[in-house]
Amino acid sequence: MSFTNFTIENDGDGIALATWDSPGRSMNVIDAKVMDELSAIIDQTTADTAVKGVVITSGKDAFCAGADLTMLEGLSRAFAELAASQGEEAAMMRFFEESRRWSVLCRRIETCGKPWVAALNGTALGGGFELALACHRRIAADNPRTRVGQPEVKVGLIPGAGGTQRLTRLCGRSVSARLILGAEIINGALARDLGVVQWAVPRSELPTRAAEIAARVAALPADALAWSKACIAAAGEPGEDGYRDELEGTRRLLTTKETRARVQAFFAGALQ
């Protein structure tokens, strides 16, 4: 199967390399088409018995800048239109389902039964960082261009795809508060020191090291079910209530006039 935003290559050891490189964009961002394709990649690699693990990286200088702000603006506009025509309850339900798509994809990666390794060759922010957090291992390029963080608070939002849950379980409340509440952006070396990523290596070593890690981790479990259970146990409790609370908070924020205004202002500034 061919994709617009991704390419998939399989090496001889059963590791699939998914390279994210959206055409016509200076940076990868999350939009509806990207979500559709990532969903298909999860299906494809999970079903293929020849694939033992997956490495996801970027073909651009940055990994992912987060959600496409035009998509967020469109969701807010659609909510207002649906609320006017069918009532706020119907609008809430539709908006909730649309806004939770990335969260569902991240959860599917986490529980798919095969190890995913995020090879962060550059900046990973917002939903892009949440994708990396949903992977079972993270390795970053140790260079000034590699920076990770959750800047959603700057536009009146919170991470909505598991970031509040996974980051806290991974490295504790103090670090997660720095990145989520303080919107702090950190480099690859500091991310390693704080436990956000497991390795920081020279950029030239990133693809090879990531594939080696995926192959090594894939050799550990006896079967997919055992691997999924091991991943969840290693991360702590699944936190389904926490995921729901996070999504509910995101939904509430996205429907406020204040957040819509901040998203629009941020988008307008980005165009200047």
Q: State the catalytic residues.
A: 130, 152
The answer to whether 188 touches 120, Cβ cutoff 8 Å, is: yes
**Measuring CA to CA, which residue among 138, 77, 28, 15 is closest to residue 260?**
77
Pairing verdict, β 15-20 and 6-10: antiparallel
With CA atoms as reference, report the closest residue to 13 among 50, 65, 49. 50
Burial degree of 108 (CB within 10 A; 0-12, 13-18, 19+)? middle
Helix (H, G, I), strand (E, B) or coil at 14: coil
* Structure-token match 């200088």, residue found: 61
Q: Which two tokens stand for residue 41?
A: 């990649």
**Number of residues that this document lists for the chain:** 272
For 170-190, what is the HEC assignment? HHHHHHHHHHHCCCCCEEHHH
Residue from 127, 125, 124, 95 nearest 109 by CA: 127
